[in-house]
Amino acid sequence: MSSQVVNVVVAGLGGQGAIKASDILADVAFRAGLDVKKAEVHGMSQRGGSVTSDVRFGPHVESPMVTIGEADFLVVLAPSEVEVTRPLLKAGGTLIPPDLVDEKALPNRKSLNVALLGALWYEAVKAALPPHLHAVNEKAFQLGRAAAGAK
């Protein structure tokens, strides 16, 4: 059961949009017809402190929290948070670090959260399919995104 559940942790500092990014991700999984649970701690989240948000999806999800060492994907929005959250990642899990996207290329500095979601989709498609299908599915992914954007 658990093996079919995908565990994602989005980490950052208060005000960076880590929770917003995790909300978007959870909504996509929900729209895809999967069971979804997410957990995070609010309250102090606007005061610049460390924030993590757990998103879990699959055919059936029990606990809303990602266990240390069991995250399939770790999306980190702030350089200072990479090392403090790395133990969440399972062996062979995928880290999406903040410096993956050139901040200067962002239309708005505050959109790093969504930019890293883009990276996460790409990594997730790659992780779900064998290598010989990556190119064709990347193209399909871009096509779907463009079609939705054109609506």
Partner 1 sequence: MERRLVSGDEAVAAAAFDGGVHLGTGYPGTPSTEILENFSRLGGRAQWAPNEKVALEVGLGAAYGGARALVTMKHVGVNVAADPLFTAAYTGVSGALVVISADDPGMASSQNEQDNRHYALAAGLPMLEPSDSQEAYDLALAAFELSAQFRIPVILRMTTRVCHGKSIVQRRAPVTVKAPAFERDIAGRVMIPAFARPAHRKLRAKLAEIQAWAEASPLNVQVKGDRKLGIVTAGVTARHAREAVPGASFLELKTIYPLPLEKIRAFAASVERCLVVEEGDPFLADRFRAAGIAVEAKAEAFRFGELNVDRVRRIVARDSSPEPVLPKGKPPALCEACPYHPVFASLRKLDCIVAGDIGCYTLGVAPPYQGLDTCVAMGASLGVGLGLRHVLPEKDARRVVSIIGDSTFIHTGVNGLIEMVYNPPATGHVLIVLDNGTTAMTGQQEHAGTGRSLDHDQAGKVSIEGLGRAVGVKNVDVVDPIEDPAGFEKLLVDRLGRSELSMIVSRRACILAAADIRKWDKAIADKCGGCAGGADV
Q: Which of 36, 76, 77, 96 binds partner 1 (CB under 8 A)?
A: 36
Mark the segment that binds partner 1 (CB under 8 A) among 26-34, 90-98, 99-107, 116-124.
26-34
Q: How far is CA 17 from CA 13, 69, 134, in A?
A: 8, 24, 29
Restricted to residues 38-57, the positions that interact with partner 1 (CB under 8 A) are: 38-44, 46-50, 52
What whole-number distance in Å separates Cα of residue 36 and Cα of residue 38?
A: 7
When asked if residue 65 is in the footprint of partner 1 (CB under 8 A), the reply is yes
What whole-number distance in Å separates Cα of residue 103 and Cα of residue 35?
A: 34
Nearer to partner 1, 66 or 120 (CB): 66
DSSP lists the bridge partners of residue 113 as: none
Dihedral of the alpha carbons of 20, 113, 94, 48, in degrees to the nearest 10 = -80
Restricted to residues 99-138, the positions that interact with partner 1 (CB under 8 A) are: none
Tell the smallest beta-carbon distance from residue 12 to partner 1 (Å). Answer: 10
What single-letter DSSP state applies at residue 63? -
Q: Is 142 left (phi over 0), alpha (psi -120 to 50) or beta?
A: alpha
Q: Which of 4, 59, 79, 80 binds partner 1 (CB under 8 A)?
A: 80
Q: Which of 35, 95, 122, 125 binds partner 1 (CB under 8 A)?
A: 35
Residues near partner 1 (CB under 8 A): 1-2, 13-14, 23, 26-27, 30, 35-44, 46-50, 52, 61-65, 67-69, 80-81, 83-85, 87-88
